[in-house]
Every structure is written in structure tokens, then in C-alpha cells.
């Protein structure tokens, strides 16, 4: 039963990490003037671009963070 609880906790941590880092990427991208690259009046395309780039950047950062977390938890096994 503990295995299921641990797997559930890991799933929650993973989902939260992705949501947080995608949100942070979206917030950071809003500081750029990407609108100048698009034609005038293409608001939907600009928003879609922000979302897709935020997902790509946020997912990459979340993957790095989760891998780093996993690796740091396995370091004690070197000395065991």
C-alpha cells in the first residue's frame, strides 16, 4: 500500500512542477515584445504562440528540476 501512496505523491509533485514552471515561463515571456514579429491584429495567434512556447520552456525546466530532484535523492546510495 505504501508504494501506491508514494507513487501518488510523486505524481502530484510532477503535476505541480509542470504547472508552476509553465506559469513562470508564461510570465517571463510576457516581458518580451513578441507581438512585433506578428502581423497586426493577429491576437489569437500571438496568444497561442505564448502558450506553446511557455509549455515548451516550462516542460524543459520542469524535466530538469524533476530529474535533479530524483538524482539528488539517489546520491546517498553511492556511499551505502
What does the pLDDT look like over 14-24, one tens digit per residue? 999 999 999 99
**Contact criterion met (CB below 8 Å) for 26 and 58:** yes
pTM score, whole prediction = 0.85
Q: What is the number of structural domains in the chain?
A: 1
Residue 54, classified by CB atoms within 10 Å of its CB into exposed (0-12), middle (13-18) or buried (19+), is: buried
Buried-exposed string 36-51: b where 16+ CB fall within 10 A, e elsewhere: eeeeeeeeeeeeebbe
Residues 72, 80: Cα–Cα separation, whole Å:
14
> Which residues, 6+ apart, have CB-to-CB distance to 20 below 8 Å?
62
Full domain range(s) for residue 49:
2-79
Report for 20-29, 30-39, 42-51: range of highest mean pLDDT: 20-29
| Residue 58 predicted with pLDDT over 90 | yes
Amino acid at each position: 500500500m505504501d508504494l501506491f501512496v508514494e507513487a501518488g505523491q510523486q505524481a502530484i509533485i510532477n503535476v505541480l512542477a509542470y504547472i508552476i514552471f509553465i506559469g513562470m515561463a508564461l510570465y517571463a515571456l510576457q516581458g518580451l515584445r513578441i507581438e512585433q514579429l506578428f502581423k497586426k491584429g493577429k491576437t489569437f495567434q500571438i496568444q497561442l504562440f505564448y502558450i506553446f512556447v511557455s509549455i515548451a520552456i516550462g516542460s524543459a525546466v520542469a524535466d530538469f528540476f524533476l530529474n535533479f530532484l530524483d538524482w539528488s535523492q539517489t546520491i546517498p546510495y553511492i556511499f551505502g
